[in-house]
Amino acid sequence: MKNWQSKVDYLFEIVFSDTNQKKLEKATLWLSIIGFIIHLLLIYAKKFHLFEIPFEAGLLINPISAIYTPFTIILIYEIYLLVLNLPRSFTTSVSKQFEIISLILIRRIFADIPKIDLTNEWHTTPANLQLIYDVLGILILFFLIHLFNKGRLKLHKKPTNTSIEKFVSSKKIVSLVLLFLLIGVSFTSVFSWSKALIYNTSSGDINAIFYNEFFSVLILADVFILLLSFQYTERYNQIIRNTGFIICTILIRLSFGVPGLTNVVLIISSVLFGLLILTIYNLSERALNDKIS
């Protein structure tokens, strides 16, 4: 039993080592800068008719859209951190999910700014309304995530024992499998999107590329971890908390399938639901500890 745990821990430490994390962090920084510059050059090259493309490119119209590229690269690094934190705590993993969806929302703002119309009846234009929804949504999300992280710090740290060590090792296996699955999904998503773009058959939201599949895979990973947790705990409070966090992921996944205000409402509902679940869990744990004392 200890043998498989040590092998899993060793492999996890290699893949998610501090050295690799620092290398990826540095690469993210440089790729963000390079991507931003290249995107700017493409925008101005298209503006001065230095090249023509056979398909519609909304991200090559306004220089502000160039911010979309570094945010995309930063999101990739955030996904890596999410997978890294998955074995540590369900709550930490969910917090990372909330941060990722908030960054996706911010990225969408930069992509949609060129579509803004400030002429007559500006407040009824769909693009303008979407920008208002997104800006207000970001403010609400930022505050709710702050409260969630504040509640996360109040969680009581439990002493390590053999059962918890086995559970953590099991979650590390899920993380390793999830990482390689996401690498495969990212390549297939980009290939499918590029093919649809070239043949002018793309009708989906560019902001949802990869993330539809990402959150679908993440839901399955969360459910698998929840099932594994049944071997090590039968406490009602923990089961409800972890199940509630899976519902948060499902709400985020559903948000990619709807546009406009409904999209933002679903995202906010996800974070708000997670915050309420965590708050109730902390209250019940505090009451239980007081009773034991």
Domain ranges of the chain: 2-292
Question: SS3 of 55, please?
Answer: coil
As a whole number of angstroms, the distance between CA 169 and CA 227 comes to 14
Scanning the chain, the segments in alpha helix (DSSP H) are 2-15, 18-47, 68-85, 90-112, 126-152, 162-198, 211-229, 236-255, 260-292
Q: What pTM did the predictor assign?
A: 0.84
pLDDT in the model for residue 233: 66
* Regions of the chain with pLDDT less than 50: 203
User: What is the predicted pLDDT for the residue at 278?
Assistant: 94
pLDDT (0 to 100) of residue 95: 92
Whole-number Å distance between alpha carbons of 37 and 44: 11
The pLDDT value given to residue 164: 76
Identify the pLDDT of residue 186: 79
Instruction: State the number of CA atoms in the 13 A half-sphere of 235 facing the CB.
Output: 10
Segment 269-276 long-range contacts (CB within 8 Å, at least 24 positions apart): 270/98, 270/101, 271/98, 271/101, 271/141, 271/144, 271/145, 271/148, 272/144, 273/244, 273/247, 273/248, 274/94, 274/98, 274/148, 274/244, 274/245, 274/248, 275/144, 275/147, 275/148, 275/151
- pLDDT score for 193: 65
CA gap 285, 150 in Å, rounded: 16
User: What pLDDT score does 206 carry?
Assistant: 62
pLDDT recorded at residue 69: 84
CB atoms within 10 A of CB 78: 17
